Amino acid sequence: MMGGRLIGFGGLILAFGCGFAVPSLAQAPDLCSGQPAAMQKPCREALELLVQGGPQEPQPARRILATGTPEGWRYDYLQPGGAASDDDCVVSGTLVLPADTAVRLSVTASDVVRPWRLPQFDLDLTGIPGRIEEKIIKLPPGDIGDPAAAPAGDEKPVALRVLPPDAYAEWEGLTLPPSCFASG
């Protein structure tokens, strides 16, 4: 290793410095052999996670960008390979989601800081202009929130309609153009 330094923290070895790259465990030097015998296995497991880039979460097939505006919430349905223009895949007001399906919800705001809250599901995200906060959500079927509710201050109400997968597919087909979901 040239120009770098290894630092051990309780069996986890971190590499600092320029020029240190471990493309695979097979090519990595045995960095854990200098650890006490009891720490070698946890050290190797930690090194394997570092080489792999950490545990990999499956990416949800659905991604929705919620943007807080002075008028309320705007939801952009973003799909891998979607080719539509921004305004083609937008719904304002009530967010419609498929039930029991992982969805990546990204929250931002167009003008001022705006909270996006569903306390009954312990969801509290903050829309900040120029930033995005994300959370993977998976909700049961039902109507959640009240679009006509008057939250305190400048807060905009959050309303969701969570449909069973077949009803969601029907809603999607009637509401969003096919170009939102084009592949490749």
Q: What is the pLDDT of residues 28-43, one digit of tens each?
A: 556 777 777 887 788 7
Query: In terms of domains, do 93 and 143 share one?
Result: yes
SS3 46: helix
Domain count, the chain: 2
Q: Poorest-confidence range of 19-33, 42-56, 57-71? A: 19-33
Report the pLDDT value the prediction gives residue 22, as an integer from 0 to 100: 45
Question: What domain range is 12 assigned to?
Answer: 4-52
In a domain, 84, yes or no: yes
Reported as a single tens digit per residue, the pLDDT across 17-27 is 334 444 455 55
Mean confidence (pLDDT) of the chain: 75
The yes-or-no verdict on residue 168 having pLDDT over 90 is: yes
DSSP labels, 65-109: EEEEETTEEEEEEE-TT----GGGGEEESEEEEETT--EEEEEEE
Query: In terms of domains, do 88 and 28 share one?
Result: no
In a domain, 57, yes or no: no
Report the pLDDT value the prediction gives residue 141, as an integer from 0 to 100: 92
Report the pLDDT value the prediction gives residue 84, as an integer from 0 to 100: 52
Nearest to 10 by CA among 43, 34, 33, 41: 43
Query: In terms of domains, do 70 and 157 share one?
Result: yes
Q: Poorest-confidence range of 23-32, 72-81, 105-114, 161-170? A: 23-32
Displacement of CA 83 from its chain's centroid (Å): 21
Report the pLDDT value the prediction gives residue 52, as an integer from 0 to 100: 67
Query: In terms of domains, do 33 and 82 share one?
Result: no
Query: In terms of domains, do 96 and 150 share one?
Result: yes
Q: Rounded CA gap, 100 and 164, in Å?
A: 8
Q: Which residue has the higher pLDDT, 51 or 68?
A: 68
Reported as a single tens digit per residue, the pLDDT across 108-128 is 999 999 999 888 888 899 999
Strands (DSSP E) found in the chain? 4-9, 12-17, 62-69, 72-78, 90-92, 94-98, 103-109, 114-118, 123-127, 133-137, 142-145, 159-163
User: Residue 44 in contact with residue 31, Cβ under 8 Å?
Assistant: no
User: Residue 32 in contact with residue 16, Cβ under 8 Å?
Assistant: no
DSSP-assigned beta bridge partners for residue 66? 75, 107
User: Averaging pLDDT over each range in 11-20, 25-34, 68-77, which range is the top one?
Assistant: 68-77
